[in-house]
């Protein structure tokens, strides 16, 4: 679960928004449902990545627990998937060091992430004075830890959004560099790009729904109450044309609502537009609000139950997950140590 911009949000929460849910989490649940016998799935909360920006300890503790509870609440099943905190499996960081001995500085400095973080121009280089003064090593080497997260479990496929393709490409490149030097240890991981359409901001429907937008009404988060969900949809920015049509480029606001409905009802956007053609915008909004509220209710109830639980259930699931992940990572580390003469 991405924690990149955790510290930049006003009310940081580990609870994802509807875009994360439809674009990523729900796709992972589908992967779990469709996984063939013998396929193993690993999901980690990347609490070490969160440290690349200054964190308040109590806030981080809360964030990682919320994120973990969310994975279970949306339907990832610890019996079928290995779910753990990254920091509970030290081999991730051990492999990070090893990979950093083969990872290319040039490649890393061409990646956009640290430039965006520091708000430097795209053409900034490592020689740039300002960049050098502010740059933290962990922020720069963030992709190396990402590569380790993937390669330590000998992953063959990684579900990512289109925006994260670049980072997976770095992992593939680094795995190849390692294999070239030490022998074929790592499978080269393939991207599983989410087929889901982007959910757009409710307030600015030409940009994607995101945790980093200041206006909280621009996104629905998975723990919003039914009332809050209906209200946010009701005040979503649309146009004032009288009929309902599906035209993403010309009518992004209405089309976004249709797309959301299409996700939940499993009906094409065109069919929804036909069905609602002469309905009022208000009734479309009511229907979309109800549908989202209905679907998220079960997730929300499970989430609240997990967060309120006093029996140590979450902790025990996390420990079992970490144990299984450590065992799997040990196999990889043994091969690496043999290959490298350690």
Cβ-based nearer residue to ligand ADP, 26 or 238: 26
Cβ-based nearer residue to ligand ADP, 2 or 128: 2
Say which of 65, 115, 203, 211 is annotated catalytic: 211
Phi, psi dihedral angles at 134 (to 5 degrees): -95, -20
Q: How far is the CB of 212 from ligand ADP (least distance, A)?
A: 6
Q: How far is the CB of 156 from ligand ADP (least distance, A)?
A: 18
Q: How far is the CB of 45 from ligand ADP (least distance, A)?
A: 13
232 as an active site residue: the answer is no
Q: How far is the CB of 159 from ligand ADP (least distance, A)?
A: 8
285 as an active site residue: the answer is no
Binding residues vs ligand ADP (CB under 6 A): 2, 5, 19-20, 22-24, 161, 163, 198-199, 208-212
Cβ-based nearer residue to ligand ADP, 15 or 22: 22
Of 199, 263, 258, 202, nearest in space to 231 by CA: 202
Cβ-based nearer residue to ligand ADP, 24 or 148: 24
Say which of 65, 203, 208, 232 is annotated catalytic: 208
The sign of the CA dihedral 144, 145, 146, 148 is positive
Say which of 117, 203, 232, 285 is annotated catalytic: 117
Q: How far is the CB of 153 from ligand ADP (least distance, A)?
A: 18
211 as an active site residue: the answer is yes
Cβ-based nearer residue to ligand ADP, 20 or 238: 20
Q: What are the residue numbers of the active site?
A: 117, 208, 211
């Amino acid at each position: 679960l991405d924690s990149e911009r955790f510290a930049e949000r006003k009310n940081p929460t580990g609870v994802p928004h509807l875009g994360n849910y439809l674009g990523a989490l729900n796709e992972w649940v589908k992967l779990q449902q469709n996984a063939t016998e013998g396929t193993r799935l690993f999901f980690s909360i990347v609490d070490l990545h969160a440290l690349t920006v200054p964190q308040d300890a109590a806030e981080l503790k809360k964030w990682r627990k919320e994120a973990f509870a969310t994975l279970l609440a949306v339907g990832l099943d610890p019996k079928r998937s290995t779910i753990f905190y990254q920091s509970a499996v030290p081999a991730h960081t051990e492999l990070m060091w090893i990979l950093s001995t083969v990872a290319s500085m040039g490649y890393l400095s061409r990646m956009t992430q640290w430039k965006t973080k520091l708000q430097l121009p795209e053409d900034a280089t490592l020689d740039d004075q300002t960049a050098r003064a502010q740059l933290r090593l962990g922020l720069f080497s963030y992709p190396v830890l990402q590569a380790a997260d993937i390669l330590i479990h000998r992953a063959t496929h990684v579900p990512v959004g289109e925006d994260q393709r670049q980072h997976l490409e770095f992992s593939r490149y680094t795995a190849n560099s390692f294999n070239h030097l030490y022998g074929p240890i790592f499978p080269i991981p393939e991207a599983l790009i989410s087929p889901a359409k982007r959910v757009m901001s409710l307030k600015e429907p030409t940009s994607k729904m995101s945790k980093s937008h200041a206006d909280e009404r621009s996104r629905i988060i998975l723990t919003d109450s039914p009332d809050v969900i209906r209200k946010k949809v009701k005040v979503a920015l649309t146009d004032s044309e009288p009929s309902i049509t599906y035209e993403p480029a010309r009518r992004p606001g209405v089309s976004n609502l249709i797309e959301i409905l299409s996700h939940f009802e499993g009906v094409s956007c065109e069919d929804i537009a036909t069905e609602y053609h002469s309905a009022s915008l208000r009734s479309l909004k009511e229907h979309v609000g109800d549908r989202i509220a209905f679907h998220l209710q079960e997730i929300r109830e499970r989430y609240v139950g997990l967060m309120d639980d006093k029996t140590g259930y979450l902790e025990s699931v996390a420990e079992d997950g970490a144990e299984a992940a450590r065992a799997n990572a040990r196999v990889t580390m043994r091969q690496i140590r043999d290959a490298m003469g350690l």
